[in-house]
Amino acid sequence: MSAGFAAAYRSAVADRGRLCAGIDPHAALLEQWDLPVSVDGLRAFAGACVTGLGPVAAVIKPQVAFFEAFGSAGFAVLEETIAGCREAGALVLSDAKRGDIGTTMAAYTTAWLDDASPLCSDAVTVSPYLGFGALDPAVAQARATDRGVFVLARTSNPEGAALQRGVAQSIVDAAAAVNADGSGTAGVVVGATREHGLELSSLGGPILSPGLGAQGATAADLTAIFGDTADLAWLLPAASRSILRAGPDPAALAAAARATRDEIESALS
């Protein structure tokens, strides 16, 4: 049996610590960096992030929507960003939140998890709300190539609670079943901004936890929210804007990422 995504994840966090650094080039940040809200500005922003964050963060999460907003030219910049971060030694988790059925899901799988695609990443976020089984093409491809899928379970936004509260545990349980082979193929997304009410200790895969920094969660909140319900070795806190506000200097971005990582590691130790 192959080592699975678990081996890549464990190696990355052992070397670099538990931090997923987001690349979110939305218009306000481009303007804050004195960059034009254009493809040229997008490329400059992403390039600084690759230089500053690529050698530091265990996982880097480009938010696909902010690249997609610029059409095909934006996707070209995203391809460059993915390649640059991976070349710098980071795992790339593309935050695309894809979810569909049949051949459409298979096509999304090819786009994000197939070596032949210029968008190919180490992992991708996916939505299970057409049924967890609809994600089978992505799960199978990820398992075959030692990549991962991160399945939305209990997200950091308050609007998600009404829909997710009743089904999130079933999503976690389905992901745990995927991981029963030890591959760690199926991670879940569980926000750090509020109590989640989930039993995560048997997941056997990574827990992407957005909400650190700009959304209000702190490193100190992590043990309170996850300490009794999850194996903290699998916890992957995510921060984006709180790190990106240190730009545009790549060295300042690197310093902000290191500081955030050190706060996380201190809180989880």
pLDDT in tens, the chain (269 residues): 468 999 999 999 999 999 999 999 999 999 999 999 999 999 999 999 999 999 999 999 999 999 999 999 999 999 999 999 999 999 999 999 999 999 999 999 999 999 999 999 999 999 999 999 999 999 999 999 999 999 999 998 889 988 998 899 999 999 999 999 999 999 999 999 878 989 999 999 999 999 887 777 899 999 999 999 999 999 999 999 999 999 999 999 999 999 999 999 999 98
Token look-up 């491809």 returns 141
What pLDDT does residue 29 have? Answer: 97
CATH superfamily of 4-268: Aldolase class I (3.20.20.70)
What pLDDT does residue 1 have? Answer: 44
Token look-up 């963060």 returns 57
User: Are 35 and 45 within 8 A, CB to CB?
Assistant: yes
The three-state secondary structure class of 245 is coil
Query: How many other C-beta atoms lie within 10 A of the C-beta of residue 17?
Result: 18
Q: What type of residue sits at position 178?
A: V
What pLDDT does residue 2 have? Answer: 63
Question: Residues 10, 26, 97, 241: which is the catalytic one?
Answer: 97
Reported residue count of the chain is 269
Which residues, 6 or more positions from 200, have their beta carbon under 8 angstroms from its beta carbon? 172, 188, 190, 207, 226, 229, 230, 231
Active site residue 97: yes
- What is d(CA 159, CA 145) in angstroms, rounded to the nearest whole number? 34
- What is d(CA 37, CA 34) in angstroms, rounded to the nearest whole number? 9
> Where are the domains positioned within the chain?
4-268
This prediction has a pTM of 0.96
Query: How many other C-beta atoms lie within 10 A of the C-beta of residue 65?
Result: 14
